[in-house]
Copies of this chain bind each other. A is one copy, B any other.
Amino acid sequence: MASTIYDIAAKAGVSIATVSRVFNQSTNVSQKTRNKVLKVAESVGYHPQAYAQGLASKKLNTIMAVVPIISNYFFMEILGGIQDKLTKLGYDLSIFNVTGAGDVFFEQVEHVIRRRAAEGYLFISIHLHPDQWDKLQKYPVSITLVDEFYEGFDSVSVDNVQGAYTATKTFLDAGYKKVGMISALETSKPIKDRIKGYKLAFEDSGHIFDSSLIISGDTDYRDGFTERGGYTAMQRMNKVHPTLDACFCSSDIQAVGALKAMEDLDISIPLIGYDDIEISEYIGLSTVRQPMRDMGYIATQTLIERMNNEEKAISQTMYSPKLILRKSTNGIV
């Protein structure tokens, strides 16, 4: 049923080389021949097959996004930025969802790289051990890291330590003493950094640091970056520290849950989230802005440049997150 270049060539009375040229925008085909081929191709709905083209030309024209969790807001925004850029360039996007844990996780990542189903890879929120990164570096493929960085790879990330520091310091400087942190999975890379920044703010302010002020929710689904994670964390927080002054949340989506918990508990303290997802502006949530869309866009650009020039110097872009104050911190600054 599906026709090939041979069928078209036969029906149009030309060679397969000519048919191929017609579909490759080659100028070396007479208008007459071109029209004849196009007409035949159209009549049977022919179009070159992606895989065969890829094999023969060694060009796939697709880049692959490798992600751990597909349905979260952070990734969605990043993806939007990637698509904005890709569309302009005519590349296709492929998505690989890494589902394994532990060693299997790395094996999956390595596997997808080896299959060569794309010409370039965008690693989004993929966090590995140093020796694993080193191993990956040996493969002759272009990879750009998003939300992570490691020596030797192009990357686009945000300074998580600084972001958490800024949010926490803002509370401390405003005179609040008991400033809690609603955390997510503590072994996750971004959380480690955010906790670091949170601590640092206490130290810089000359306050004693109390680790019991850092509390997570009751679920590790999506690494704890969920409404429910924030909701249950705030409930726990209120049990342990009923006199909390203010709270920093490790993501906006958790802050949404925390806000609800506060409402249910009938308490009200200033809150700062993290990310600045779209709804935050509308629900009046103060937050630490990560330029997610830009990150996806820039990362894609960086990757394409790398693909076109392997000798290019490594570029590590690190954004400084920006604090955005809204209703949830009203009157504190």
A interface list, Cβ under 8 A from B: 1-2, 45-52, 54-55, 60, 62, 70-71, 73, 76-77, 79-80, 83, 86-87, 92-97, 99, 111, 114-117, 138-140, 226-227, 231, 253, 256-257, 259-260, 278-279, 281-284
Contacts and interface: CB of A to CB of B under 8 A. Distances in A.
Given A226-B278, A227-B281, 16 more contacts: A1-B140, A45-B138, A46-B114, A49-B115, A49-B116, A51-B54, A52-B55, A55-B55, A70-B76, A70-B79, A76-B76, A87-B97, A87-B99, A253-B278, A253-B279, A257-B282
A286 to B, nearest CB: 15
B60 A70 contact: no
B51 A117 contact: yes
A11 to B, nearest CB: 17
Contacts of A117: 49-51, 92
Contact of A2 (B52, B92, B116, B282): B116
B227 A278 contact: yes
Nearest to A263: B284
A60 B117 CA distance: 10
Contacts of A83: 70-71, 97
* Protomer copies: 2
Contacts of A97: 83, 86-87, 93
A72 to B, nearest CB: 8
A284 B79 CA distance: 28
Nearest to A114: B47
A278 to B, nearest CB: 6
A115 B260 contact: no
Contact of A71 (B80, B87, B115, B227): B80
B51 A227 contact: no
A18 to B, nearest CB: 19
Contacts of A55: 51-52, 55
B116 A51 contact: yes
14 contacts: A47-B115, A49-B117, A50-B116, A51-B55, A70-B79, A71-B79, A71-B83, A73-B76, A87-B97, A92-B94, A95-B95, A253-B279, A256-B282, A279-B279
A300 B145 CA distance: 30
Given A279-B227, A282-B259, A48 B92 contact: no
A70 B80 CA distance: 6
A148 to B, nearest CB: 21
A76 B227 CA distance: 16
A170 B216 CA distance: 39
Contacts of A46: 114
A45 B114 contact: yes
A247 B145 CA distance: 45
